[in-house]
Amino acid sequence: MKNKNKVPKLKTPVFANLDITSSCNQKCIFCAVSPNRDYNFRKTEHFFRIIDELYNSGIFEMTLFGGEPLLHPEIEKICKYAYDSDLEVNIVTNGTLPDKCDKISRYLNTAGVSIHGFKKTHDKIVNFRNSYERALKSLKTFIENGVNTSVCYTLINQNYEEAPEFIKYIFENYEDVSGCVLDRFVPKGFGVKKRKELEVGIEKINAMLDVLDSLSKEYKKGVTTGDGLPLCLIREDLRYIVQPCQAGVLFTSVTEDGDIKLCPASRTVVGNLFVNSLEEIWNNEWYTKYRSFEWLPKRCKECDLFNVCYAGCKVSRNVEPYSYDIFLEKYEEEV
Amino acid sequence: MTFSWKNMRKKFKIRKEGEDRYLLYIPEYRKLLITNTTGYQTLIYLEKNKSIDEVVEIFQKEYKVDRDTVKKDIENFIEKLKRYNIL
């Protein structure tokens, strides 16, 4: 059997997510992270130490994540510190705090504002009244401040039908928006129990990518996926839209406690930045085994697309610490 | 021809990765490129406002290779930098 694994072996990752808080003011029905409402925030200096370690480890780009990162009372200071440390700073936010979007814009490389449909659909999905208006205000704020800004749209059955119309609306009314990031539903966190109700199948995802392809060409906007998908199951001419899952290869996820995880949706902690350096963790036994990809189905290991696909989402089956993509389950007998 | 290096440092980030490998990251395009020591040295010389001919001459002397090959390689590399708005 010929293993096609030629993924880059880096001494440390180049991209990192940093969870600023595990609290969120929304409760999205599909959320893979299942944040709380504790509103207990780590001290700003604590994040400075994490940022120092990330920078010294050679991280190029850091994405502020959560929970809702803008809830942190000193998010502006944290952004500034990262920016001054010469890290590229991105944020993914639910956009419910437009004033804070304004304050941190100057430090950002990119911003993603999560909006999952028109008002009625969006507010119902996120369980937050008037979230829609706030999110659009935040989107406008980032754009007007010159930040490279995208709408992040998580595709579930509840917003599938209106997705084309909504994305078209955004492209038409927010001329300077960079594009749309289409996130797939990952059955973790709040979404576990509602999988059957929420999950969109691979055929419908292909159909939506087809729509995105047309909208992207018509409005000259960028479209991409936020999570990996097995490229072999994606129509060939649409594969360019799919961003491979870079977890464990180029990317790592850091919690507010300094814990290192494969990705934000993963539950398994593989090290802590206050105990070991990122380089030590990245090259430990756990990560080394992960990067061997020997645990993947034969179909993936022998696939010519492997090195541009990385076999889709590793947490989509809700099997810890990682597994092959849920859309590959029908090939399970080949594992 | 001398290229303007103005703000070039802000347009990319670079880190050494192994003996002869450098990772070049271009935030504007969110693009990660891999280059070798020669590519890295070219960037340093361009930063010092050297012209292509001067860079070619340096490499020609250092590596004792033919001028046309070196020039073509450097021009290709510079073309890539221009594509990503670095130069």
Q: Which residues in B lie closer than 8 A to residue A148 (C-beta atoms)?
A: 28
Task: Please determine, for residue A332, whether its predicted confidence score (pLDDT) is greater than 80.
Answer: no
Nearest CA to CA, how far is A11 from chain B (Å)? 7
> Which of the 8 DSSP states describes residue B51?
B
Among A156-160, A187-191, A194-198, name the one with the lowest average pLDDT: A187-191
Chain A: nearest CA to B35, how far in angstroms? 13
Q: What is the mean pLDDT of residues A187-211?
A: 94
Min CA distance, B13 vs chain A (Å)? Answer: 7
Provide the domain limits for residue B47: 5-83
As a whole number of angstroms, the distance between CA B68 and CA A80 comes to 47
- Partners of A58 on chain B (C-beta within 8 Å) are 15
| pTM of the full structure | 0.92
Please, which pLDDT band fits residue A131 given cuts at 50, 70 and 90? very high
In angstroms, what separates the C-alpha of B48 from chain A's closest C-alpha? 21
How far apart are the C-alpha atoms of A167 and A174, rounded to whole Å? 10
Q: With helix as H, strand as E and coil as C, how does chain A read?
A: CCCCCCCCCCCCCCEEEEECCCECCCCCCCCCCCCECCCCCCCHHHHHHHHHHHHHCCCCEEEEECCCHHHCCCHHHHHHHHHHCCCEEEEEECCCCHHHHHHHHHHCCEEEEECCCCHHHHHHHHCCCCHHHHHHHHHHHHHHCCCEEEEEEEECHHHHCCHHHHHHHHHHHCCCCCEEEEEECCCCHHHCCCHHHHCCCHHHHHHHHHHHHHHHHHHCCEEEECCCCCHHHCCHHHHHHCCCCCECCCEEEECCCCEEECCCCCCCEEEECCCCCHHHHHCCHHHHHHHHCCCCCHHHHCCCCHHHHCCCCCCCCCCCCCCCCHHHHHHHHHC
- Out of A14, A86, A148, closest to residue B23 by CB: A14
From A8, A14, A110, residue closest to B25, measured CB to CB: A14
- Closest residue in A to B10 (Cα) is A86
> A78-112, pLDDT tens digit by residue?
999 999 999 999 999 999 999 999 999 999 999 99
Q: What residues of chain A lie within 8 A of the CB of B29, using their CB?
A: none
* A13 CA: distance to closest CA in chain B (Å): 11
Residues of A (87-106) whose Cβ lies below 8 Å from B: 88
Contacts of A14 in chain B (CB under 8 A): 15, 23, 25, 32
The SS3 of residue B66 is coil
Within an 8 Å CB–CB cutoff, is residue B61 touching chain A? Answer: no
Q: Higher model confidence: residue A72 or residue B28?
A: A72
| Residue A334: band (very low, low, confident or very high) from pLDDT cuts 50, 70, 90 | low
Distance CA A310, CA A72 (A): 34
Contacts with A85 from chain B: Cβ below 8 Å: none
| pLDDT bucket at B1, cuts 50 / 70 / 90 | very low
SS3 B43: helix
Provide the domain count of chain B: 1
Rounded to whole angstroms, the Cα distance separating B65 from A67 reads: 56
Residue B6 predicted with pLDDT over 50: no
Q: Which of B18, B23, B27 sits opposite A88 (nearest CB)?
A: B27
Q: Is the pLDDT of residue A267 over 90?
A: yes
pLDDT at A330: 79
pLDDT beyond 70 at B8: no
Q: What mean pLDDT, rounded, does chain B reach?
A: 84
Provide the CATH number for the domain around residue B75: 3.90.930
- Residue A251 contacts B where some CB pair is shorter than 8 Å: no
CA-nearest residue to B32 within chain A is A14
Contact yes or no for A290/A13 (Cβ under 8 A): no
Which range has the worst mean pLDDT, A67-71, A299-303, B34-38, B47-51? Answer: B47-51
Residue of chain A whose Cα is closest to the Cα of B15:
A58
Residue B7 forms contact with A (CB below 8 Å): no
Query: Which of A6, A11, A60 to mutate against chain B (most B CBs within 10 Å)?
Result: A60
Backbone angles phi, psi at A44, to 5 degrees: -60, -40
Q: Cα-flanking dihedrals φ and ψ of residue B78, to 5°?
A: -65, -35
In this prediction, residue B2 has a pLDDT band, given cuts at 50, 70 and 90, of very low
Closest residue in A to B14 (Cα) is: A60
Distance from CA of B33 to the nearest CA of A (A): 12
